[in-house]
Amino acid sequence: MTSGTPPTDVLPASQVAELINSLVKALRAYHMYLPNNPIYQRASDNLRIAFQPIWNVLDELVLTVAETDFVWDEQVVYHQLNKSESIAWGLFKDGMRSLAIRRGAEAEELPRFLETMNRARFLAADAGDDLLTLLWEQEFELISYKFIEFFGGDGGVPEQTGSYATGGADDTAAARQRHAAAAEEAPPRPKGVVDLEEFDSTLYFLEEREINLVASAVEDEYRRDVRLSALNVLFDLFELQGPGPTRAEILGVLEAMFPNFLNARDFRTAAMVLRETRQLLERAPGLEPAHRERLDGFVAKLSEPAIVSQLVQSLDEAPGMAGEATVAEVLRELRSSALEPILAWLPNLSAPALRQVLEGVADRLAEAHPAELLRILRTPDSEALAPVVALCGRLQLVQTVPGLGETIAHQDPAVRLASVQALAALGTPAALAFVERAIEDPDRGVRLAAVRTLGARGYKGAQRRIEALVFGKAVSGMDLTEKMAFFEAYGSIAGASGLKPLTGLLLPRGLLRMKEAAEIRACAAIALGRIRSAEAREVLQRAADDKDLVVRNAVSRALRESPA
């Protein structure tokens, strides 16, 4: 490597991360299989192969051991938050802070190093050894490390570096002297009494430390999740076996078990199955098309509407699980077919944490799959129709305007109102053209929402239709609030062209000085205020002293809102 060149310029961090993944798989294989097992041997071969691109650039790989990470050249190349599964945590908790692997270590020393790590992981809590002492015994030449030794003799925290051998000659001599002194001070043994020390007790009895070790091993065995180990074996066999019936049989076993994991709320195992099947699609050699389709089918099965509904119901009944990382990992795998049942469930959820998680999932799926949104929008009897309409407006999904144009004519007034609001949020000319149709809707709330949207947007395309309503007979059947909404929209849209007809409504006209009803005149005054011109203000000032109190109040309000 060129002197002074940063390592990441000649070796990408992703290459080191791939090496660490191979190391993790080898560590697992060394724990589960004997050295003569094909999976064990394949893991060793893969580890040696993974080192080849590293040694093409470097002579030594130095990793910093963080709490749950491995860091190389200030970049995280391994990250596992679950401490029970993190090999970085296993080294960190025993005091290791740095690990250096030199060229050639993968041939013989690295397998011994990984086996030593496995031994250290399953030591009893009161065992006399730890990772550091076990590593000392190996006397590595191509692997070095740095440890922080907690509670040093001088009260400090000294750093232990390199590889050490254990020596015990002085301790053994001192122990023999203590036993001899005890024997001399002991009273003479009565004749006929048998001394147990004359027998080799280790042949028949376990020492207390050994008893504790066995008890701890038994307890660990009972607590161990056998399912994860069994599944790991299946995945290893699938990857090891070539095309043939064995892979089909393994897939059959997994397909039968996967729904049970979901029903039992075992999301940790379900997430592991999804993660491993996705990786097998990428790395398993010689995959047949049928096997590839079945591997991909796990996520497709998970995303079926019926299963998604059961999954959401199960999580809602156990709200404490919604925040777990494994649950989020499973939900992130959902595909577009899961969008409809998720949105149908959202209004009925009782767990706020679950609602927040599912809203994020729904937003992701909606943005990634607009075609699925259009399908739901064109399904009038869908339970998720109203939530989908609101989602389109909230996420500003302009491509869903044609579908919202269909829901604006839905038989349910709530869906029509939500459609108007969504189209108003989008605000495109095509969206406002659909909103214009709703100003004659049978439902008053829909009409008000539509006309206020058009007035606020100043949509000129609706002027003719609103003008026909304002100056026609239909206005007499509206209440005051609706009349004011239509007149305000007309004034905002018509502008100067509406000055003359509105003046005719507000001021008396004809030889007999005929007047419109007070409500109509008040609405006309409000509309003139929306025109915001000097001419409109002049007309309003002429009506400022009108005898009708309702009209005077409307004129006063319009003058306040109209610029001087």
Q: Locate 26 and state its tokens.
A: 């080898």
What is the pLDDT averaged over residues 292-311?
Answer: 84
Q: What is the pLDDT of residue 548?
A: 86
What is the pLDDT averaged over residues 50-66?
Answer: 91
Q: 168 CB contacts (<8 Å, ≥6 apart)?
A: none
What residue type is assigned to position 429 of the chain?
P
Tell me the pLDDT band of 431, cut-offs 50, 70 and 90: very high
Residue holding tokens 């001419």?
535
CA angle 485, 457, 422 (to 5 degrees): 90
What is the pLDDT averaged over residues 445-449?
Answer: 94
User: Is 16's pLDDT higher than 80?
Assistant: yes
Cα–Cα distance, 364 to 334 (Å, whole number): 10
Q: Which helix (H) or strand (E) holds 75?
A: strand 75-79
- Most confident option among 131-135, 227-231, 398-402: 398-402
Packed helices 370-377 and 352-368: angle between N→C axes, nearest 10 degrees: 100
**Neighbour-count burial of 335, counting CB atoms closer than 10 A to its CB (0-12 exposed, 13-18 middle, 19+ buried):** middle
What CATH superfamily is the domain 461-564? Answer: Leucine-rich Repeat Variant (1.25.10.10)
CA-to-CA dists, residue 3 to 10, 12, 225, 277, 479, angstroms: 11, 17, 49, 43, 85
3-state secondary structure 231-268: HHHHHHHHHHCCCCHHHHHHHHHHHHHHHHHHHCCCHH
DSSP letter, residue 195 = P
Mean pLDDT of the chain: 82
Q: Does residue 237 contact residue 33 with C-beta atoms inside 8 Å?
A: no
What is the pLDDT averaged over residues 349-374?
Answer: 87
CATH topology of domain 384-457: Leucine-rich Repeat Variant (1.25.10)
Query: Where in the chain is CATH 1.25.10.10?
Result: 384-457, 461-564
Residue 57, by phi and psi: left (phi above 0), alpha (psi -120 to 50) or beta? alpha
Cα–Cα distance, 359 to 372 (Å, whole number): 16
CA dihedral 437, 443, 449, 454 (to 10 degrees): 30
Tell me the pLDDT band of 509, cut-offs 50, 70 and 90: low
Residue holding tokens 């592991």?
272
Report the side by side order of strands in the sheet with 75-79.
75-79, 69-72, 60-65, 96-102, 143-148, 159-161
Q: SS3 of 77, please?
A: strand
Q: Which residue in 545, 546, 527, 528 sits closest to 537, CA to CA?
A: 528
DSSP letter, residue 100 = E
Q: What is the pLDDT of residue 194?
A: 54
What percent of the chain stands above pLDDT 70? 85
Radius of gyration of the chain from Cα atoms? Answer: 39
Tell me the pLDDT band of 398, cut-offs 50, 70 and 90: very high
Q: Which helix (H) or strand (E) holds 524?
A: helix 518-531
What is the pLDDT averaged over residues 326-355?
Answer: 85
Instruction: Summarize pLDDT for 24-47 with one digit per residue, the tens.
Output: 988 888 888 888 888 888 888 888
The full length of the chain comes to 564
Cα–Cα distance, 267 to 331 (Å, whole number): 10
What percent of the chain stands above pLDDT 90? 25
Residue 332, by phi and psi: left (phi above 0), alpha (psi -120 to 50) or beta? alpha
What is the pLDDT averaged over residues 309-325?
Answer: 78
What is the pLDDT averaged over residues 308-317?
Answer: 83
Q: 456 CB contacts (<8 Å, ≥6 apart)?
A: 492
Instruction: Summarize pLDDT for 106-164 with one digit per residue, the tens.
Output: 888 999 999 988 888 887 766 777 888 888 888 889 999 998 865 444 444 445 555 43
**How far is CA 101 from its chain centroid?**
35
Cα–Cα distance, 162 to 383 (Å, whole number): 66
Q: What is the pLDDT of residue 164?
A: 39
Q: What is the pLDDT of residue 32?
A: 84
**Neighbour-count burial of 91, counting CB atoms closer than 10 A to its CB (0-12 exposed, 13-18 middle, 19+ buried):** buried
By DSSP bridging, strand 60-65 and strand 96-102 are: antiparallel
| pLDDT higher at 285 or 57 | 57
Q: What is the pLDDT of residue 64?
A: 93
User: Is 349's pLDDT higher than 80?
Assistant: yes
What residue type is assigned to position 555 of the chain?
V
Instruction: Summarize pLDDT for 175-197 with one digit per residue, the tens.
Output: 445 445 444 544 555 555 555 45
